[in-house]
Every structure is written in C-alpha cells, then in structure tokens.
Amino acid sequence: MSILNILRYPDPRLHKTAKPVTQFDERLKKLVADMAETMYDAPGIGLAATQVDVHEQVIVIDTSENRSDLRAFINPEILWASDEKQVYDEGCLSVPGIYDGVERPARVKVRAFDADGKPFELEADGLLAVCIQHEMDHLKGKVFVEYLSPLKRNRIKTKLLKEERELARSQTRTAAVR
C-alpha cells in the first residue's frame, strides 16, 4: 500500500468529473487500499479518488471512532434524499484547516458497488450521510467551499495559496542548505 498525494484547493484537477469504473480488478482493489491508507494517514473520514488525481468514481469512508468500518463506494448514486436538511461543519483533506457549515439533506439512500463489484444499497443519516454527499460532490468536480459565499471562498483560496507559497519557499531554503 502507498500514501497518495492529496490535491489541495484551488487545484483545477479537483474540478474534473470522475468517470464510472468499468473494471473491478486488482488495480481497483489496490487503489481502494491506497486511498484508505492515505485517508487514515491524513487523518480523515472520507476520500474521493478525484482528490488523489484519479478521475474514477471511487470513494472510501470510515466514520467510526476506531477506524473499524471502512467502506468503499464504487460508482455511487443517490437514490433518495430527505426533504429535511441539516447543517454540519464540514472540513476536507483538500482544504486543510478550513471548516464551515454546509446544509445538506439529513438522510440519503445510496446505491454503489464494493471493490469486488458486488452491488449494495445503504440508507444513511448523520455524519455518514454528510460524508457520502461530500465525497460524491468531489466525483462531480465540486469542493465543499463552493457552497460558501464568494467572499469566504476567496479568503480561503488566498489563505491556501499563501501557505503553499510559504511552504515552497521554506523547501527551497532547506534544499539550498543541503
């Protein structure tokens, strides 16, 4: 297994639409395992393939406290979403250190395949429902900050670009010292 590089907002690759998976093979199983390892290492509770620059409809999620409930959702689709909404403070591995409230349906029913190609349906509420919807947005090329006001979104973009420049500068200085 490998730790994969997570794209950071506002990287344009985060806005690519993911294609459906057509082959349920060892490559897919390795991708799921690598994504899970990357998510746990980050640490996070969900990761979409888009975030690691693989534009296929693959999501891994584990909302358990002890990392014991890893789920893979291949080619997921929401069959039903409740009219009832709820606001959760969301964060994202591609938008590190930023959390803000996003309103989404409180409950969803999703259909997907597991990594072996076996279909399943799942009804979810609470954090799992939020996580499923958040990660499915990534597959459509949407990042959670796009639900925020343009002012907040621009502040976040500016902050993250500044952090990236500072990190690049410090790495250049470190390399020059060696």
Please provide the DSSP assignment of 119-156 as one string. Answer: EEEEEEEHHHHHHHHHHHHHHTT--GGGGS-HHHHHHH
Confidence (pLDDT) at 156: 93
Q: Output phi, psi for 32, to 5 deg.
A: -60, -45
pLDDT at 174 over 80: no
In the 8-state DSSP scheme, what is residue 163? H
pLDDT at 178 over 80: no
- 1 pLDDT band (50/70/90 cuts)? confident
Confidence (pLDDT) at 177: 61
- Tell me how far apart the alpha carbons of residues 73 and 121 are, in angstroms, rounded to a whole number: 10
Q: Which residues are catalytic?
A: 135
- 169 pLDDT band (50/70/90 cuts)? confident
Residue 55 assigned to a binding site: no
Over residues 111-125, the mean pLDDT reads: 98
Residue 79 falls in which region: left (phi positive, over 0), alpha (psi -120 to 50) or beta: alpha
SS3 (DSSP) at 37: helix
- Tell me how far apart the alpha carbons of residues 103 and 56 are, in angstroms, rounded to a whole number: 26
pLDDT at 57 over 90: yes
10 vs 16, 55, 82, 96, 119, CA distance in Å? 12, 16, 31, 12, 34
Confidence (pLDDT) at 176: 63
Residue 131 assigned to a binding site: no
Contact 46, 6 (CB under 8 A): no
- Tell me how far apart the alpha carbons of residues 73 and 106 are, in angstroms, rounded to a whole number: 19
Q: Diameter of the chain by CA atoms? A: 59
Confidence (pLDDT) at 51: 98
Over residues 102-113, the mean pLDDT reads: 98
Over residues 69-83, the mean pLDDT reads: 98
pTM: 0.92
